[in-house]
């Protein structure tokens, strides 16, 4: 790890001391602090007003019990979280994750990242995140509904279109947002569309929201290629994961002339040299909610590898779209050896610090999640705009807005990287540009 300057080192030590055992949160804070040396050197006003120290402490953290009854009649207890991290730029905005690994440290890492991501979109949204250690895998529709209703029965008092606007993340898609919205409406007796995003198209949702995170990541990479006089044409791409982000990243790669030759789930990966059949992948994952081994059983020519790492498959471009810390130093070394030139994070913090360091040393272009995957939350902000004006836009119009936003984020990263002496460094640029906008708003709003 690089050495932090003294002031930033003290802030990091304080974060470690105040948040024991929250490794992912430490990692997310460290990644931002590593980029801020030149910023604090040039702007003592941020340190004088303790802006970074305030940013590292969430404005509000809510932890609650979620009791529900399973199909056999047994009472189950899960833990619910909502961390309202920073509202300098707008209402707290960020998804809910339902996954057995969820604990406060995961929610805080995601909420912290969300502040800078949302800032980079240039839209009026603050940062927050929530979720539960509930595992939707293998649960019936009825169980998922009862869980969502129990979760919202506590959450509703903390959210609102001008306060905090949750959405989906891992384990929370259209079905869950439906049950959550239904319960919010029932308890409050208000049809408040702007309280959640990721809604269905017939009840206040936005076109392109489902596709937005994956499409946005690929628009970002398209821009990275374009400034180098290149394109997706003929490129081999490996995508990890096979959820919403991975599926729609793969779809956009294909539309732009690239070939996605592999994808994965937590059990293994599939290699399909002719290009992943997206209709089949959607059928397996979205309709049947099955494992990707089913894909390989159905498609001739596809190979399923149980266990192992999808990053062993040689490619020009790697898009980690599964989960945090899924691509480690060993994987990075293999990708580099195989000639991979670009890595862009569709998931939140999928590359370990070791992997990121190796990419930088090898000259692999690296786009961090807070820039590359911001298309999802940006389209949520477009959903909020449509809800506020009781309007709904066409698919084409919304997709054009998303593409423009991603191009804007790309340019903002490069411009900030240049200005602070790190030309071409998307990681530094994203952290610096995201930080400065929030920091300036915090200065303007006073010590609150």
**Which residues bind to ligand GLU, rule: CB under 6 A?**
93-95, 117, 167, 169, 197, 348, 376-377, 380
Q: Which lies closer to ligand GLU via its Cβ, residue 259 or residue 387?
A: 387
Q: Measured from the CB of residue 370, what is the shortest distance to ligand GLU in angstroms?
A: 9
For residue 213, say whether it is annotated as part of any ligand binding site: yes
Q: Measured from the CB of residue 112, what is the shortest distance to ligand GLU in angstroms?
A: 12
Q: Which lies closer to ligand GLU via its Cβ, residue 195 or residue 281?
A: 195
Which H or E run contains 214? helix 209-226
Any idea what DSSP says for residue 96?
E
Cα-based torsion angle of the residue sequence 263, 30, 2, 34 in order, rounded to the nearest 10 degrees: 100
For residue 137, say whether it is annotated as part of any ligand binding site: no
For residue 268, say whether it is annotated as part of any ligand binding site: no
Is-catalytic flag, 282? no
Q: Which lies closer to ligand GLU via its Cβ, residue 11 or residue 377?
A: 377
Q: DSSP letter string over 167-181?
A: E-BTTB-HHHHHHHH
Annotated catalytic residue, options 7, 42, 108, 129:
129
375-388 and 209-226 helices, crossing angle to 10°: 130
For residue 171, say whether it is annotated as part of any ligand binding site: no
Q: Measured from the CB of residue 102, what is the shortest distance to ligand GLU in angstroms?
A: 13
What are the angstrom distances between the C-alpha of 226 and each of 117, 172, 382? Answer: 22, 34, 26
Q: Which lies closer to ligand GLU via its Cβ, residue 11 or residue 32?
A: 32
Q: Measured from the CB of residue 433, what is the shortest distance to ligand GLU in angstroms?
A: 17
For residue 285, say whether it is annotated as part of any ligand binding site: no
* Closest by CA position to 302, among listed 247, 255, 264: 264
Q: Which lies closer to ligand GLU via its Cβ, residue 15 or residue 377?
A: 377
Q: Measured from the CB of residue 339, what is the shortest distance to ligand GLU in angstroms?
A: 30
What are the angstrom distances between the C-alpha of 443 and each of 45, 120, 429, 438? Answer: 8, 18, 21, 9
For residue 389, say whether it is annotated as part of any ligand binding site: no
3-state secondary structure of 264: strand
Task: Tabulate helix, strand, coil % of the chain (nearest 5).
Answer: 50, 15, 35
Q: Give binding residues for substrate as ranges.
A: 93, 114, 117, 168, 380
Q: Give binding residues as ranges.
A: 93, 114, 117, 168, 213, 244, 380
Residues designated as active site = 129
Q: Give binding residues for NAD(+) as ranges.
A: 213, 244
């Amino acid at each position: 790890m690089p050495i932090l300057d003294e002031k930033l080192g003290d802030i990091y030590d304080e974060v470690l001391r105040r948040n024991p055992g929250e490794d992912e949160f430490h990692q997310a804070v460290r990644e931002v602090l590593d980029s801020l040396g030149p910023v604090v050197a040039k702007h003592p006003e941020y340190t004088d007003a303790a802006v970074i120290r305030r940013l590292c402490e969430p404005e509000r953290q809510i932890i609650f019990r979620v009791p529900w009854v399973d199909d056999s009649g047994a009472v189950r207890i899960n833990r619910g979280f909502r961390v309202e991290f920073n509202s300098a730029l707008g209402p707290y905005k960020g998804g809910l994750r339902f996954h057995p690994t969820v604990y406060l440290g995961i929610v805080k890492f995601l909420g912290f990242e969300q502040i800078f991501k949302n800032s980079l979109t240039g839209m009026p949204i603050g940062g927050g995140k929530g979720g539960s250690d509930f595992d939707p895998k293998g649960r019936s529709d009825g169980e998922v509904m009862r869980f969502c209703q129990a979760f919202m029965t506590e959450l509703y008092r903390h959210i609102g279109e001008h306060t905090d606007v949750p959405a989906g993340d891992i384990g929370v898609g259209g079905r869950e947002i439906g049950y959550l919205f239904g319960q919010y409406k029932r308890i409050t007796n208000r049809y408040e569309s702007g309280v959640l995003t990721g809604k269905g198209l017939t009840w206040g949702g936005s076109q392109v929201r489902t596709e937005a995170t994956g499409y946005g990541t690929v628009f970002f990479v398209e821009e990275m290629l374009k400034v180098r006089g290149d394109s997706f044409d003929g490129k081999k791409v490996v995508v990890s994961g096979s959820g919403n982000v991975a599926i729609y990243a793969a779809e956009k790669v294909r539309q732009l002339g690239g070939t996605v030759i592999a994808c994965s789930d937590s059990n293994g990966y599939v290699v399909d040299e002719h290009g992943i059949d997206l209709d089949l992948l959607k059928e397996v994952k979205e309709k049947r909610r099955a494992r990707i081994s089913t894909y390989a059983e159905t498609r001739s020519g596809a190979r399923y590898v149980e266990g192992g790492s999808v990053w062993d498959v040689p490619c020009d471009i790697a898009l980690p779209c599964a989960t945090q810390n899924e691509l480690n130093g060993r994987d990075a070394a293999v990708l580099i050896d195989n000639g991979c030139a670009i890595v862009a994070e569709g998931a939140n913090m999928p590359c370990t610090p070791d992997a990121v360091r190796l990419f930088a040393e090898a000259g692999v272009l690296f786009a961090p999640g807070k820039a590359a995957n911001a298309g999802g939350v940006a389209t949520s902000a477009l959903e909020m705009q449509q809800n506020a004006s009781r309007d709904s836009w066409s698919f084409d119009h919304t997709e054009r807005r998303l593409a423009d936003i991603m191009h804007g984020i790309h340019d903002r990263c490069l411009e900030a990287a240049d200005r602070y002496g790190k030309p071409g460094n998307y990681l530094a640029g994203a952290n610096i540009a995201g930080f400065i906008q929030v920091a300036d708003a915090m200065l303007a709003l006073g010590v609150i």
